[in-house]
Every structure is written in C-alpha cells, then in structure tokens.
C-alpha cells in the first residue's frame, strides 16, 4: 500500500498494525499534498474503492481520515 510519502508498505504489515489496535490513517490521493510532512509516512493514499477492498481484507481496520489528525505544517521563516 502506498503512503503519501511514496513509501510502499506490505499489506501484511498494515494488517498487523490494525490487529494491534492502530488506526488506518488515510487520505484520497488528490488531497495527499495537504498532509503535513511530519505524518506523510504514516498516512496511506487510497481511493474509495481501495479503502473498501482494504476494509474487506482487514476487518480490524479502523479508517480515520488524515484531516481528522491534521498537524500544523512547518512554515519556512
């Protein structure tokens, strides 16, 4: 699965994290540039159809939109 930072994460690793109770933080690919750099490696860029398939494959997944966890972007001085 692709993260916003471009790093692919194996589905098995995502499933393990979900089983451990971690949220599945996602954003739609066309909104990826609005995700703060500090959390891009932990946010998955998924289309709605991909999210639906993922929820079927990993019933423990708790999808949370990245905008619900928005961290302030670092601004250059």
Tell me the per-residue pLDDT of 46-55, one tens digit each, with 9 for 90 and over: 999 999 999 9
The per-residue DSSP string of the chain comes to -BBTTS-B--HHHHHHHHHTT--EEEE-GGGGGGS-GGGGGG-EE--HHHHHHHHHH-TT--EEEGGGG--PPP---
pLDDT at 35 over 80: yes
Global pTM reads 0.82
Could you tell me the two tokens for 31? 């909104």
| pLDDT at residue 8 tops 80 | yes
Mean pLDDT of the chain: 89
Of residues 38 and 68, the one with the higher pLDDT is: 38
DSSP state at residue 67? G
């Amino acid at each position: 699965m692709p993260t916003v930072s471009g790093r692919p994460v194996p589905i098995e690793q995502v499933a393990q994290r979900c089983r451990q109770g971690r949220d599945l933080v996602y954003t739609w690919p066309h909104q990826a540039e609005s995700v703060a750099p500090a959390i891009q490696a932990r946010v998955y860029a998924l289309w709605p159809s991909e999210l639906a398939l993922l929820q079927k494959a990993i019933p423990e997944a708790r999808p949370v939109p990245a905008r619900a966890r928005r961290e302030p972007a670092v601004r250059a001085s």
